Structure 1
Amino acid sequence: MATVLLIQLVTAGVAIILGKCLLDFFQIHVASPLRNVRGPPSTSWLRGHMGQLFHPQGWDFHLKELASYGTVVRLRGFLGEDVLYVTDPGALRSILMDHGDTFDEPPMIIERNKLLWGNGLLSSTGAIHRRQRRVLNAVFSPARLRDILPTFYSVVHRTEDSMTQLLHFGSVELDMLVWMSRTSLELIGQAGVGVSFDTLAETSPPNPYMVAAKQLIPLSFPLQGFMRLIPHLVKIGSPEFRGFLAGIAPHANIRKLKEIIYFLYETNSSVFRGRVKDLGRDDRSAEASDIISALIQERQNSPDADKLSDEELIAQMGTLIFAGHDTTSVALCRTLHVLALNLEQQERLREELLRAPRSAHGDEDLSYNQLSALPYLDAVCKETLRLYSPVTQLHRVPRQDAIVPLSRPVCGVNKTQIDRLTVKAGTLVVVGAASVNRDPEIWGSDADQWIPERWLRPLPASVADASLPGVYANQMTFMGGGRSCIGFKFAEAEMKVVLSILLSRFKFEPADEAIVWNMYNFATPSVRVAGPPSMPLKVTLLG
């Protein structure tokens, strides 16, 4: 009976989606305001360009083919619906900042995030999102980072010790994705939510939470078509009823996702209750510098309008762990990989780290100000994040029709100049972060090359003139506007601490197998196209 009901509900949902798509199909081809925007021919009447846009090796499609059409490109989605690909700086400012309330995350992403993590920063919109962001801004301040830095060092030294034990007999090939994943999870665990997920010992068994969390995106990725049903399915019955339906779903990934979501929620809830209990004690030993503890403590003195509920704080825990784990680990892997391929720059960075002035107390670890004052370390981080953005594309959907101006007019299909676009409500807009970070009109003719030295001299005037809305270093890696990455300074500090410790102790060189980077939700390394995530490097202990 339950299976029959589920099939009926899914069938109804599919019918709704197909009906909407057919309506959109006629509207698109008869009266689409984007019909004069150039773009590549579609390869599939059903999926349009979606197979290319989300292909594991879609680098050339994003960085070369689409760039050849200009800074705004018309693509096709399911059943021919309009998709607008944008790298124009003026359009990005309009979409992410001027009309930030109009252009929001696609409803299917918002509802998916609610299912995965609850009502946190990644799944809220409008006034609720602004309130949560306003509260969270306070705990990502530079002052808070200075308090957290000793925690960073404590975690990374454990990684250093374990790697040292493996290297007593000379050079060893290590999967640095494993080590960076474990390290970044422990960093966000300790500094973000005040718990330890991993001892970082060589023989430590995988933490169940980490194993579960790392399955969320791989399990969700094959369900792109199903995700279009989510905004409709979440309106059916109670959460308990929907959980029951997910448990008997015909797709194994859905059933597994349900188990993982419930496990992660129960774990987050248990940790949260423990933190509240600890912080409620009278003795000051319960105080902690982690982000969730700070939010719990500050809630007591916040005005009622800014208070986050228990459910919202639990949702922030899952959000912090997800957003602060994978992105940082792949950014660190990319930095180590590119340094392994460029040994001269690796040695230059190592020399800067080893010669950096320490405090008068003889501390080996650099303070926040000392790390920030190292020009080549800063240059390596900025250049790697520019050229190799972990998040290659971001999606927005206007809630109502909007006019988007272009700072660089493009030639239309009818050979006329287009200096503004009308974007209809519901149109998928793709922000090409990786593409705009490599735009030669902004960064110069060497924009597609990794040159950290560019940050040691004045940048071209075109960088400032572009006025990109990004929150970090004139680039779109951490996006911009009201939904930009709130923890970008946190991530940058993590990267600098990890690099300062590991490069002072180890030398990194390419392993025998070449590394391939796959364009998933986050750029992910493997030893073959679409292979299991892995990044082996030859690691040598320095004397």
Structure 2
Amino acid sequence: MMPSSSSSPMSLSLPLQAAVVALAIALVKYLLNVLFPPSPLHNLRGPPAKSWLRGDMDQLFHPQGWDFHLKDIVSFGTAVRLKGFLGEDVLYLTDPAALRSILVKDHGDIFDEPPMIIERNKLLWGHGLLSSTGAAHKRQRRVINAVFSTSRMREVIPIFYSVTHKLEDTLVHLLQNGPRELDMLIWMSRTSLELIGRAGIGKSFDSLTEASPPNEYMMAAKQLIPLSFPLQGFMRAIPHIVKLGSPRILGFLAGIAPYQNIRKLKEIIYFLYETNEGIFRKRVQDLAEEKPPLDSVAGEGRDVVSVLIKENRRAADGDKLSDEELISQMGTLIFAGHDTTSVALSRILHVLALDPERQETLRREVTQACAQPGGDLSYDALSALPYLDAVCKETLRLYSPVTQLHRTPRKAAVIPLSRPVIGEDDSVIDRLTVNAGTMVVVGAAAVNRDRAIWGPDADEWIPERWLEPLPTSVAEAHLPAVYSNLMTFMGGGRSCIGFKFAETEIKVVLSILLSRLRFEPSEKNIVWNMYNFATPTVGGSGSPSLPMKVSLIA
């Protein structure tokens, strides 16, 4: 006798079916939680991911990602959850207390550059300041700090003037028959490289004349980032690739790699290191024999490398840097001191061209100061010019060359929020647990425009704000910044060690050029792209360029 349909296993009651489904879902969730435990950031709010594979990364690193950083992300608060590759959680921070905690206060020794960036920097520049971590990084900073002191800036500023006067002479010559459109990014890039070359490693790269042939070292150094940028997809593999063998083996593998960029990078890295090593060895020999330094016209014995060698000799035995570390600092100096300064100078010239009244105000100040007896201004006299200082600070605040920086904790950490955020479940979140290995993005440009800190006009370029007391909210934020409450040069153990060097370069160039030249916008549409450093282009594409109309002051 056949069983009735009501007792068939295919016809379980609806409540029982629901119970079975619920049990199955619970079992799947349990297994997923065991295999893939939920991120402690899951309750943070954030923008919806555009891609299940790449999450928000295409927007985060988009050349025109300004609105995403400065509007979309921060609309969710000072701690925001983004999505990375394959759905991993990424923490975007602009909260002052959280930044203090991870950069200087509670967890400064835990949060460091992501391993993929550290290992990439080792491959590009060797074991220098950008590629060392932990105790090794602190040891290098202790020695190098002395090189960038205020007293050293007073000694090196004559080199800055010498280079800038060369630029001045060339531009005046180009304009003797009337105003011309000049690509000021190219001139600022050439000048910045010559400044860091002579004052940094004691080597002249560019005579700064119109007909100067391209310097081989300069051309090679400028290719490092453009060649490595398309290799971003390999970044996550770098910490594993470097374990394949010794530097000799890695060099061999790079030389036979199927990707042309990798082979070209290998050639450039070897060329730059061998050139730096040759300069270094000769400098050591000259100093030991008390001879004039190599290319004495360039460094005049006051360049960073010469001083660094001397400081290293005086350092305690436990702090002394190896020859390899010292040579690596040379490549690091060129990279860190060239592009950022050139784009900062270009941005200042651009905003001044767009604001002729303020350009004239600054011109009057520097012209009057430079007209005083004694020729070029001293470091202290230059630093005392209030409007020049205000223009530099305001431009570096509103238009930070570096938009974002990244940190990764080596172990789990709990960080506080000074401005709590509302979670997905409507709860108030005033502290966050961050797991080891989580990508943390420091929104430097967004912090510099935070209205709760800088006021309702934070998105406006107003140099005059620095000529009067800043809002109390600026000091009360206690941002972990090494420069004027700005995150432009970051803070903590990995802050920009050469910010005084960069600031002095910028002020010298502006004081000389503005006293002789007038800058006006060209008719071309200038669009600034993010990239590694904010970079001007015509129309948003093509090679970096900043055409401007330049004329002599009558």
How far is the alpha carbon of 1:265 from its aligned partner?
0.7
Q: Residues of 2 paired with 1:534 and 1:276: CA distance?
A: 39
Contact 1:140 1:489 in 2 (8 A): yes
**Structure 1 residue identity aligned to 2:468:** R
How far is the alpha carbon of 1:215 from its aligned partner?
1.2
Query: Does residue 31 in structure 1 map to residue 38 in structure 2?
Result: yes
Q: Highest Rg: 1 or 2?
A: 2
Contact 2:286 2:292 in 1 (8 A): no
Runs of 4+ aligned residues of structure 1 deviating over 4 Å after TM superposition are 25-30, 283-287
**Structure 2 residue identity aligned to 1:89:** P
Q: Residues of 2 paired with 1:28 and 1:262: CA distance?
A: 44
Query: Does residue 94 in structure 1 map to residue 94 in structure 2?
Result: no
Query: Does residue 126 in structure 1 map to residue 134 in structure 2?
Result: yes
Q: Give the 3 Å change call, closer, same or farther, for CA 511–196 of structure 1 in structure 2.
A: same
How far is the alpha carbon of 1:29 from its aligned partner?
6.8
Contact 2:118 2:132 in 1 (8 A): yes
Q: Residues of 2 paired with 1:189 and 1:105: CA distance?
A: 27
If the length of structure 1 is used for normalisation, what is the TM-score?
A: 0.93
Please, which of 266, 274, 277 is the counterpart of residue 266 of structure 1?
Answer: 274
Q: Residues of 1 paired with 2:407 and 2:536: CA distance?
A: 27
Where in structure 2 are the equivalents of 1:16-27 lying within 5 Å?
Answer: none
Where in structure 2 are the equivalents of 1:163-202 lying within 5 Å?
Answer: 163-202=171-210
How far is the alpha carbon of 1:295 from its aligned partner?
1.1
Q: Which residue of 2 aligns with 1:338?
A: 351
Contact 2:182 2:549 in 1 (8 A): yes
How far is the alpha carbon of 1:357 from its aligned partner?
6.3
Q: Which residue of 2 aligns with 1:159?
A: 167
Where in structure 2 are the equivalents of 1:217-296 lying within 5 Å?
Answer: 217-283=225-291, 288-296=301-309
Query: Does residue 353 in structure 1 map to residue 366 in structure 2?
Result: yes
Q: Which residue of 1 aligns with 2:18?
A: none
What are the superposed Cα offsets for residues 452-491 of structure 1, whole Å, 9 maximum, x if unpaired? 0000111000000110001101110000000000000110
Please, which of 316, 321, 325 is the counterpart of residue 308 of structure 1?
Answer: 321
**Structure 1 residue identity aligned to 2:316:** P
Identity %: 71
How far is the alpha carbon of 1:534 from its aligned partner?
0.5
Deviates more, 1:372-381 or 1:266-275: 266-275
Q: Residues of 1 paired with 2:199 and 2:290: CA distance?
A: 22
Please, which of 415, 422, 431 is the counterpart of residue 420 of structure 1?
Answer: 431
What are the superposed Cα offsets for residues 317-370 of structure 1, whole Å, 9 maximum, x if unpaired? 0000100000000000000000000000000000001111666xx322111111
Q: Residues of 2 paired with 1:46 and 1:419: CA distance?
A: 30
How far is the alpha carbon of 1:284 from its aligned partner?
6.2
How far is the alpha carbon of 1:27 from its aligned partner?
7.4
How far is the alpha carbon of 1:531 from its aligned partner?
2.1
Q: Give the 3 Å change call, closer, same or farther, for CA 355–491 of structure 1 in structure 2.
A: same
Q: Residues of 2 paired with 1:477 and 1:29: CA distance?
A: 37
**Structure 2 residue identity aligned to 1:103:** F
Contact 1:114 1:123 in 2 (8 A): yes
What are the superposed Cα offsets for residues 199-255 of structure 1, whole Å, 9 maximum, x if unpaired? 111100111111111111111111111011000010112211111111111221111
Q: Secondary structure at the match of 1:184?
A: helix
Q: Mind listing any 5+ residue stretches in structure 1 that lack a counterpart? A: 1-24
Q: Residues of 2 paired with 1:212 and 1:83: CA distance?
A: 34
Q: Mind listing any 5+ residue stretches in structure 2 that lack a counterpart? A: 1-31
If the length of structure 2 is used for normalisation, what is the TM-score?
A: 0.92
Q: Secondary structure at the match of 1:306?
A: coil
Q: Residues of 2 paired with 1:528 and 1:249: CA distance?
A: 35
Contact 1:358 1:366 in 2 (8 A): no
Q: Give the 3 Å change call, closer, same or farther, for CA 284–513 of structure 1 in structure 2.
A: closer
CA RMSD in angstroms, aligned pairs only: 1.5
Q: Which residue of 1 aligns with 2:7?
A: none
Q: Which residue of 1 aligns with 2:29?
A: none
Q: Which residue of 2 aligns with 1:18?
A: none
Please, which of 300, 318, 342 is the counterpart of residue 329 of structure 1?
Answer: 342
Q: Residues of 2 paired with 1:140 and 1:460: CA distance?
A: 30
Q: Secondary structure at the match of 2:432?
A: strand
Q: Secondary structure at the match of 1:139?
A: helix
Contact 2:454 2:473 in 1 (8 A): yes
Q: Residues of 2 paired with 1:284 and 1:209: CA distance?
A: 23
Q: Which residue of 1 aligns with 2:118?
A: 110
Contact 2:60 2:68 in 1 (8 A): yes
What are the superposed Cα offsets for residues 113-171 of structure 1, whole Å, 9 maximum, x if unpaired? 00000000000000000000010011101100000000000000001111111101110
Q: Secondary structure at the match of 1:356?
A: helix
Contact 2:41 2:432 in 1 (8 A): yes
What are the superposed Cα offsets for residues 180-201 of structure 1, whole Å, 9 maximum, x if unpaired? 0000000000101111011111
Q: Residues of 1 paired with 2:204 and 2:275: CA distance?
A: 13
Size of the aligned set, in residue pairs, is: 518
How far is the alpha carbon of 1:281 from its aligned partner?
2.1
Contact 2:370 2:376 in 1 (8 A): no
